[in-house]
Structure 1
Amino acid sequence: MITINLICVVAEIFLIRIYKFKQRQKRRKIRMIIINSLKRGFKSYPNFRN
């Protein structure tokens, strides 16, 4: 019984870590997409460049 509980706890911690890591990657991707779209916007509107 103790071993099964240990395995469950370890698996939970592992899954939580993977989930958090994926969330971070998603945020990074979203940020990159926003930055790229802004850059494209600035390129297509030279008046905003100064």
Structure 2
Amino acid sequence: VVCGAPASRTQKTSGGDSKIEVGAAESYEARCREHFVPRVDNQLKSMEL
């Protein structure tokens, strides 16, 4: 938990590139909507607008 607000999402904190990773407290952190940082896929990063 980052701020103490009720968490509605989980943030992956490990550095792996896989979308799904088996783990617990060492790999994920509870986050509220304000502190959640969505994952941006490499495919979307390279898109030209």
TM-score normalised over the length of structure 2: 0.22
Highest CA radius of gyration, 1 or 2?
A: 1
Q: Which has the higher contact order (CA 8 A, sep 6+)?
A: 2
Query: Greater strand share, 1 or 2?
Result: 2
TM-score normalised over the length of structure 1: 0.22
Query: Greater helix share, 1 or 2?
Result: 1
